Amino acid sequence: MVRFENVSVSIGNKPILKNISFALQQGQKVALMGRSGSGKSTLLRSIAGFVAPSQGAIFINGRKVSEAGTILLPPHKRGVGMIFQDLALWPHMSVTQNVEFGLKIKGVPSYKRKEMVERFLDMVGLQGYGSRAIHQLSGGERQRVALARALVLEPPLLLMDEPLSSLDEELKEELLETILTLQRQLGFTLLFVTHSSEEAKKIGMVWRLEGGELIAKD
């Protein structure tokens, strides 16, 4: 699914990732842990295509998508969904408009978009929320909108960068269960950045970054 071959990433003159190699298999669930500044977000952004490696190569489904200094395949063609820590929802758009945005870019007809948006809002527990503005939603509801927006494109790989960090413990537990239920139903590969050992244990396999190096895969 995703393969790193001796990947290093530097931003400016600062090394962020150092000679990382791994293979992430289709349908796998992995929690990525590490201290702040260890390179977790940079690793996700490298997979998504927002950052080019300084050396090495990145493959998705056997295709080389990045190599030293070059992004060979842009983010929108990688089949990768990504949920950022700040969610990056568009405040001037309704829930429906946020969720359907990627479908519109892909040229999906309006009748099909409506059907898919309703389906995925239902799956994340937001039935009837389509017309609401983002500012009318709670933190947990915004997380669910971001999840629906990512999954409506049916990506084979979902990257999540500390998506639950701003929520209270009860909401974290509830949303993580929703994410894992959807992963089982839809079969996407999940790479989930977290600082929480409890979240990591529930996801299953744990990888650890330290100082830009992948030091353990449990």
Higher pLDDT residue, 42 or 13?
A: 42
Band (pLDDT 50/70/90 cuts) for residue 40 is: very high
Neighbours of 168 (CB within 10 A): 11
Identify whether the C-beta of residue 192 lies closer than 8 Å to the C-beta of residue 41.
no
Q: What is the mean pLDDT of residues 137-161?
A: 95
Average pLDDT, the chain: 94
Q: What is the CA radius of gyration of the chain?
A: 17
pLDDT tens string 48-86: 999 999 999 999 999 999 999 999 999 999 999 999 888
Q: What is the mean pLDDT of residues 91-96?
A: 95
Q: What is the mean pLDDT of residues 15-34?
A: 95
Q: What is the mean pLDDT of residues 28-36?
A: 94
Identify whether the C-beta of residue 152 lies closer than 8 Å to the C-beta of residue 117.
yes
Residue 13 has what pLDDT?
87
Residue 147 has what pLDDT?
95
Phi-psi label, residue 39: left if phi above 0, alpha if psi -120 to 50, beta otherwise: left
> What is d(CA 82, CA 150) in angstroms, rounded to the nearest whole number?
7
Neighbours of 154 (CB within 10 A): 12
Domain boundaries, the chain: 95-153
Identify whether the C-beta of residue 204 lies closer than 8 Å to the C-beta of residue 24.
no
* For the chain, percent of residues with pLDDT exceeding 90: 85
Q: What is the mean pLDDT of residues 161-183?
A: 90
Residue 215 has what pLDDT?
84
Residue 178 has what pLDDT?
94
- For residue 196, pLDDT over 70 is answered with yes
- For residue 39, pLDDT over 90 is answered with yes
> What is d(CA 23, CA 85) in angstroms, rounded to the nearest whole number?
24
Q: At what angle do helices 95-105 and 110-123 cross, to 10 degrees?
A: 130
Question: Which of these, 159, 150, 86, lies nearest to 123 by C-alpha position?
Answer: 150
Identify whether the C-beta of residue 167 lies closer than 8 Å to the C-beta of residue 87.
no
- Residue located via tokens 């758009």: 93
Q: Which residues 6+ apart lie within 8 Å of 62 measured at CB?
A: none
Whole-model pTM above 0.85? yes
- For residue 164, pLDDT over 90 is answered with no
Band (pLDDT 50/70/90 cuts) for residue 218 is: low
